[in-house]
Amino acid sequence: MNGYGIFVWSSFLLTFLVCAVVYYKTRKTLKKYEKDFAKEIEDLSVEQKKTVLETSKVASKIFSSYNKTI
């Protein structure tokens, strides 16, 4: 690499680390929002809960994935 190998590999390493940090922070935030949303759903009455879960695909997916992790 004509003496530039250290710069090339360090840039690959830095890019990988930044992507890993962004992935971790995004995943952590998503889990927090899913947990908060599941708590809001749990606070609803049975009729309201059924209505929300039937009308919203996102809500049903979040609620089902939240129940799997418990």
What is the DSSP annotation of 36-48?
HHHHHHHHS-HHH
User: What would the pLDDT profile of 4-19 be if each residue is shown by its tens digit?
Assistant: 999 999 999 999 999 9
Q: Could you tell me which residue, 60 or 2, shows the higher pLDDT?
A: 2
**Rounded to an integer, what distance in angstroms lies between the CA atom of residue 1 and that of residue 37?**
51
With b for 16 or more beta-carbon neighbours within 10 A and e for fewer, the 8-18 pattern comes to eeeeeeeeeee
User: What would the pLDDT profile of 27-47 be if each residue is shown by its tens digit?
Assistant: 999 989 888 887 887 788 888
**Rounded to an integer, what distance in angstroms lies between the CA atom of residue 63 and that of residue 70?**
11
Q: What pLDDT score was predicted for residue 57?
A: 77
Q: Could you tell me which residue, 51 or 61, shows the higher pLDDT?
A: 51
Residue 50 tokens, joined: 């059924």
Residue 48 tokens, joined: 């309201």
